[in-house]
Structure formats: C-alpha cells, structure tokens
Structure 1
Amino acid sequence: MTTPKYLSNTYLDELTVNITRVIEMDDSVAMYCDDTIFYPQGGGQPCDLGVIIIDGSEHRVHHVESTKEGIAHILEAHPSLLTCAKKQCIQRIDIQRRLLNAKSHTAGHLISHILEELDSNLFPAKGHHYPSDSYIEMIETERTNDSYSVDLINDKIDALVESNPIDILAVDLDLAQVKSLRPLLSKLIPQNTQIRVIAIDGFKPVPCGGTHVRCTSELKGLRITRIKRKKDRLKVNYSIN
C-alpha cells in the first residue's frame, strides 16, 4: 500500500498522480488517486484544501476524508469528472493552510510534552488542532498540582522556539516499542505492526498520523491562552499565527 505523500513531506504542495476511481455523490464526486498530498480530516486536524487539475482544467477540492476505499477527494460534480478514471492529474494544495494546520498540530504536541515534563502524572488524551480553536487535554493519573502557570509554560515555549529550537521527526516504531513508551495510549491506536510516531527531540514520542513542521523554530507566536481543570482532565487552550 502506498504511504500518502503528506506523511513524508509536509512542505510538498504539488504532485502528479493517477486517478484510480471516481464515485458520483449527489452534487459532488469522490475522487481516488494512487497517491495524495491532501491530508484527510481527522486526528484533531482539519483537511487540506486545494485543486485537482485534469486536462488543464482546475477542479476545487472542498473536503478530504478517509474511507474504506482510501482517501476521498471531494469535488463539485462535473460531467467530465465521471470519465476521468485512469487519467493523470495534478494535485495542488493550499500550502499556507497546510503549514498553519501543521504548526498548530506540532504546537499541541510541544505543549503536551512541556506539561508532562512539569508533572509526570499528566499524559496526553486529546488534541484539537484547528487554528481557530486549538486545545489539548491531559489526563491526570494522580492529582499533585492544583494550579499550572500560563506564564511558566509560555516561558518554556519561548526557550524551545526562540533560544534553543529543536528538531521534529516522524519515525516508525513497532507496536511493542510504542506500548513500552506509551502504555496508556497503546490501546487507542491502530494495532499495526509499524506505528508512526512524532518525535520532538528530547521528549517521549507520541503516535500520530498528522502533518508537522520540521523544527520548533517554526512555532513563533505560539501562546498558551487558558488552562482549565475539569475533574481529572486539564484543558489547555493555545493560539499560533
């Protein structure tokens, strides 16, 4: 099975591929290709948008999702699209949207790592990395701290973004390694032989299928805006330009 290009290269904004299938859907069509740079909505991250160019004509992609058949690119219906299977096309994403989404996703991971470092009783539970409403949730296995300082966390962010930026890598680990590193998360991920994890240098890797930037230096403008506790969960809102 082909590994989608968005997993290996966040910055690739154009790709020539082959159309494998087109399915009619009311006023839209679902187009499948043998590869894609379009990220499908999911994992707390919005999908990519852009265009698919066929025989010189642009067709706008207004949604992308994962289905049983693969990654579906949803386009407005047009008669010419129903006969384009097996043709070549050019995929082109909105790279500014992609990079903002990638920054927001990486930012959520970095904040999660900082909180884990501050309190070993916290571990990541949920991430909502939409730039307009970004937050992460941490579960507390044991209550040891009644207050977390927004200013302290922002200072630590500044150190890792401005003063001492660090690299971010996507690597594949086997399931046993992931279970050893993240036992509380291991049941929530696909039980595949190989698991993709995001490794921010110096922190414990986290299983993730999203897009990410290469270095924390790209997270300039990241700020924690609010920390709220609800029972055994800590919700941390953040923003990034």
Structure 2
Amino acid sequence: MEPTTPTKLEYYDQMSKLQSKATLLSYFKGDDGREALILDSTIFHPQGGGQPSDTGFISIANSNHRFCVQDVRSKDGVVFHYGVAENSSRESELEQGKGKEVSLQVDESRRRLNSRLHSAGHLLDICMRNVGLGHLEPGKCYHFPDGPFVEYKGTIPPNELQSKQRELEMEVNALISKGGKVYATLLPYEEAAELCGGSLPDYIPQGSNPRIIKLGDNPGCPCGGTHVSDVSEITSLKVSQIRTKKGMAKVFYSIGT
C-alpha cells in the first residue's frame, strides 16, 4: 500500500447521502489476505464509536465490475474498504484502476438501522439526566443490532432499577414522539462546549474543532457517527434491562421496526 493523505469523510456533513463519486487511490491485498480499496473520499462509515461499518458496492466508471464492500475500517485518518471483487477474474481492473473514478453505493437498510440505533443511544444519554441519573459518567457504547447498550461509570441502588428503567423508557419515547431535526457541524472548541451543556469530554483537545451532533432542542454531543435526519425516525425505544456490576451501570435497549 502506498502512503496517502487522510480520506475525506463525506458522511460527516451529509449523513443521508448513499451514493457518491470518488477517485481510486489504491487496491491491494493485506497480510490477512483481504482485498482493500483506498479512495480519496468516502460515504462509507468505518466501524468505530460503538457503530458497525457500512456495507455496499464500489464500481469502476464505465465498467460492469463491482467490488463488494463487506467491512470498513479507519487508521490514521485513512479509510480502508475491505471486501471482494464480484468476479475474481477481473481483479486486474482494480490493480490498474489507480486514478480512475469510482461510484459508491451504501446499503440503505443497514445504514438506516445503524443510524437509528446510534441516535437512540444519544437520546438515552440525554434522558439519564432527566430521570435523576445525571451523576453517572458515560462509558462504553455498543450500538450494534445484536444487543445495543450504553454504559455508565457509577451505580444505581438495586431498589431503584425497575423504576428508573420505566422512567427512562418513558422519557426517551416522549422525545421520539416530539421529534426534531438532527444535524452535524464542526465547531470551534468553545462553541462546541456551549452547545453540549458547557463542557466537552477530556479526550477532545482544547483548541480543536469537534464535530457536534444536535438532536432537536436537546443539548448537543460530540460524535463521528451517522444519525437519523429527524428524531422521530427512531420510531420507538424499549429499555430491556438496566444492570449494575462492579461500579458500572449498563442500559440495554432495542428500537421499534
């Protein structure tokens, strides 16, 4: 693989965009045998931030050849599109395709599901404060369809678990019913902090321009993922369980169809 500049992330400000054009910079097979494409820009979201990657297709212009994107990862700002050529006998087109235009097509149903799950996780964060659990500090998040959850540092008294579970579910669904436009923007550090309730997480360096997600009238939050265009698109949310263990609280949830 040749050195290259960071990949331009088109989904950063166009989260609903599912088709685009880009330039093929590199095609190679990694040490693990997987084929990968590097482009100058992409609408494919790489796995990260608790969100699974997009899948879909990349096609070389003026060709019937398609590359099936099965996994997307990012390293040092460069996005790697892993997958397989639909017709292995035509891999040479990819090898000789440096500098050519390619067409990108993201799987709409997978993107929509991932965006709904991710957005629902942010709403849970917002509503934790509304039900008196704002003292808990955010930890890990897992917005994958097979068992999404958000995790917090701190505990909830055992006798309050069921009541807080019910309150949290009611609060989130009230916000979903209300709806509200969702947008992403890059902001100077001080403006971003103000939009997020007065402060930003320690991992965001001062002086930077973080990407902030705003869901309706609620406080914003720093995030690099994809989201719904309106809060109402989440449809509904079920808090299936709140579990506390070793100083951590996990909120497990699912969303409606």
Q: Distance in 2 between matches of 1:60 and 1:166?
A: 35
Q: Confirm whether residue 64 of structure 1 aligns to residue 64 of structure 2.
A: no
Bigger mean CA offset, 188-197 vs 227-236? 188-197
1:187 aligns to what SS in structure 2? Answer: coil
Checking the alignment, whether the CA contact within 8 Å between 1:24 and 1:82 is kept in structure 2 is: no
Letter in 1 for 2:24: I
Checking the alignment, whether the CA contact within 8 Å between 2:22 and 2:102 is kept in structure 1 is: yes
Displacement of 1:52 in angstroms is 0.6
Q: Confirm whether residue 34 of structure 1 aligns to residue 71 of structure 2.
A: no
Q: Say if 1:143 and 1:103 are closer, same or farther in 2 by CA, change over 3 A.
A: closer
2:127 aligns to what SS in structure 1? Answer: helix
Checking the alignment, whether the CA contact within 8 Å between 2:156 and 2:249 is kept in structure 1 is: no
For this pair of structures, how many residues does the alignment match?
239
* TM-score, normalization by structure 1: 0.88
Checking the alignment, whether the CA contact within 8 Å between 2:72 and 2:82 is kept in structure 1 is: yes
Displacement of 1:146 in angstroms is 5.4
Q: Say if 1:208 and 1:69 are closer, same or farther in 2 by CA, change over 3 A.
A: closer
Mapping of residues 108-147 of structure 1, within 5 Å: 108-119=121-132, 120-140=134-154, 147=160
Q: Say if 1:234 and 1:123 are closer, same or farther in 2 by CA, change over 3 A.
A: same
Per-residue Cα deviation, 1:178-217 (whole angstroms, up to 9, x for no partner): 5565788522236662000112233322111000002111
Q: Distance in 2 between matches of 1:174 and 1:219?
A: 29
Displacement of 1:85 in angstroms is 0.8
Displacement of 1:144 in angstroms is 7.8
- Find the counterpart in structure 2 of residue 87 from structure 1: 100
Letter in 2 for 1:221: S
Higher strand proportion (structure 1 or 2): 1
* Matching residue within 150, 162, 166 for 1:151: 166
- Find the counterpart in structure 1 of residue 175 from structure 2: 160
Per-residue Cα deviation, 1:121-155 (whole angstroms, up to 9, x for no partner): 12322211001110001223x87895243222222
Consecutive unaligned residues in structure 2, runs of 5 or more = 1-5, 86-90
Q: Distance in 1 between matches of 2:160 and 2:42?
A: 44
Displacement of 1:108 in angstroms is 0.3
Checking the alignment, whether the CA contact within 8 Å between 2:131 and 2:168 is kept in structure 1 is: no
Displacement of 1:171 in angstroms is 2.2
- Find the counterpart in structure 1 of residue 231 from structure 2: 216
Displacement of 1:160 in angstroms is 1.5
Letter in 1 for 2:12: L
**Runs of 4+ off more than 6 Å:** 142-145
2:148 aligns to what SS in structure 1? Answer: strand
Bigger mean CA offset, 76-85 vs 202-211? 76-85
- Find the counterpart in structure 1 of residue 3 from structure 2: none
Checking the alignment, whether the CA contact within 8 Å between 2:152 and 2:248 is kept in structure 1 is: yes
Displacement of 1:170 in angstroms is 1.3
2:187 aligns to what SS in structure 1? Answer: strand
Q: Distance in 1 between matches of 2:128 and 2:158?
A: 11
2:168 aligns to what SS in structure 1? Answer: helix
- Find the counterpart in structure 2 of residue 170 from structure 1: 184
- In percent, how many aligned pairs have the same letter? 29
1:133 aligns to what SS in structure 2? Answer: coil
Letter in 2 for 1:68: D
Checking the alignment, whether the CA contact within 8 Å between 1:108 and 1:136 is kept in structure 2 is: yes
Consecutive unaligned residues in structure 1, runs of 5 or more = none
- Find the counterpart in structure 2 of residue 10 from structure 1: 15
